[in-house]
A and B are shown apart, each in its own frame.
Chain A
């Protein structure tokens, strides 16, 4: 194509072809979004099932074992016998195992908005994370300002849950994180800051990007000047 020809306005046939290609691209994008939504829903369903099974089996049995041990300790003490120090170690070990399973359950079970609003759910999430490592949540919005649709807010919550859990899983303490929720004119923006961390593994980053995309948004990761790591999810607000 010569420079003169390239600078000429496109003919009606070319314009129609471009329009056709743009439409096709849009259809492809929508198909990919639909497919990603279905995959993410399947993943959430699977995690929900795993969490339920874990709760109904190992978690409950470990906690029953804790109570059986307590009953036995009471029996020994009532008989005025001394309880061996090993007994305390066994109690501590079962307590630790029960707490670990319970903590895992909270992260594996997909967080749901249900009756709560996104701000309350993110507050609860940061409180859960803070039981393991410092995690703050900053938000200057009020619930009525959250105008992104329900699906988008649900995906943002899952994004936060999976991102924070991924950071905790892949980085030993001390890990410090902060969640910021803000609104711009066009977007609802969640930023997750983490200090002294490496980038998340590619598979996890891809999962987070897919979650943001399924809600019509984007997810990015970058490093801020203070050498912290920042994951940002931007979701569109209704026009």
Chain B
């Protein structure tokens, strides 16, 4: 990847999904910070800087919506939701919580790329 990479915090409690997304995003040149729970994510974020939050909505210790609300008390972040639910109200709830994109599982890598490209343009410009 020729553009500046993004530092992406992935929060996902399904082990294979986390591993596959991590590999895919690292292959695209991004720096990935993995977390399996809401608590892990908050801990990582307190000690490390990151550009993008890519979070599952249904986490074992809370929701992605709650997590984003907590993170935004610490700092602003470009957020992308992942969810098995794609009804209008789910999407609206993610938007209301501050997520810029609501990706419905199964995650289409092309849609993920598109969301991250928008994030990159907004964060790094060009």
Are B106 and A63 interface neighbours, CB within 8 A? yes
Q: Which of A42-100 contact B (CB under 8 A)?
A: 55-56, 59-68, 70-71, 74-75, 98-99
Are A64 and B14 interface neighbours, CB within 8 A? yes
Are A114 and B89 interface neighbours, CB within 8 A? yes
Residues of A within 8 A of B19 (CB): 64
The prevalent SS among residues of B at the interface is helix
Are A70 and B24 interface neighbours, CB within 8 A? yes
Q: Which residues of A contact B (CB under 8 A)?
A: 55-56, 59-68, 70-71, 74-75, 98-99, 102, 105, 114-116, 120, 124
**Chain B interface extent, by class:** 10 to 19
Residues of A within 8 A of B16 (CB): 60-61, 64-65
Selected from B23, B84, B106, the residue in CB contact (under 8 A) with A71 is B23
Residues of B within 8 A of A105 (CB): 84
List 17 other contacts, CB 8 Å, given A55-B84, A55-B105, A102-B105.
A59-B105, A60-B17, A60-B105, A61-B14, A63-B20, A63-B105, A64-B17, A64-B19, A65-B20, A67-B24, A71-B20, A71-B24, A74-B27, A75-B27, A98-B106, A114-B89, A124-B88
Instruction: Given A56-B14, A115-B89, A124-B88, verify A63-B27 contact (CB < 8 Å).
Output: no
- Kindly state the separation between the CA atoms of A64 and B24 in the bound complex, as whole angstroms: 10
7 A-B pairs with C-beta separation under 8 A: A59-B106, A62-B106, A67-B107, A68-B20, A71-B27, A98-B106, A102-B106
Chain A: minimal CB distance from B5 (Å)? 16
- Kindly state the separation between the CA atoms of A124 and B88 in the bound complex, as whole angstroms: 9
- Kindly state the separation between the CA atoms of A76 and B109 in the bound complex, as whole angstroms: 18
Residues of A within 8 A of B71 (CB): none
- Kindly state the separation between the CA atoms of A48 and B84 in the bound complex, as whole angstroms: 13
Shortest Cβ-Cβ A-B pairs, 9 listed: A64-B16, A67-B20, A63-B106, A64-B20, A115-B89, A60-B14, A71-B23, A64-B17, A68-B20
Output the nearest chain A residue to B21 by Cβ-Cβ distance: A67
Residues of A within 8 A of B14 (CB): 56, 60-61, 64
Output the nearest chain B residue to A57 by Cβ-Cβ distance: B14
Selected from A61, A63, A75, A116, the residue in CB contact (under 8 A) with B88 is A116
Instruction: Given A64-B16, A67-B21, A68-B20, verify A116-B106 contact (CB < 8 Å).
Output: no
Residues of B within 8 A of A99 (CB): 106
Residues of A within 8 A of B20 (CB): 63-65, 67-68, 71
Output the nearest chain A residue to B15 by Cβ-Cβ distance: A64
Q: Which of B16, B105, B106, B107 has the most CB of A within 10 A?
A: B106
Residues of A within 8 A of B17 (CB): 60, 63-64, 67
Chain B: minimal CB distance from A13 (Å)? 59
Are B87 and A67 interface neighbours, CB within 8 A? no
- Kindly state the separation between the CA atoms of A217 and B14 in the bound complex, as whole angstroms: 43
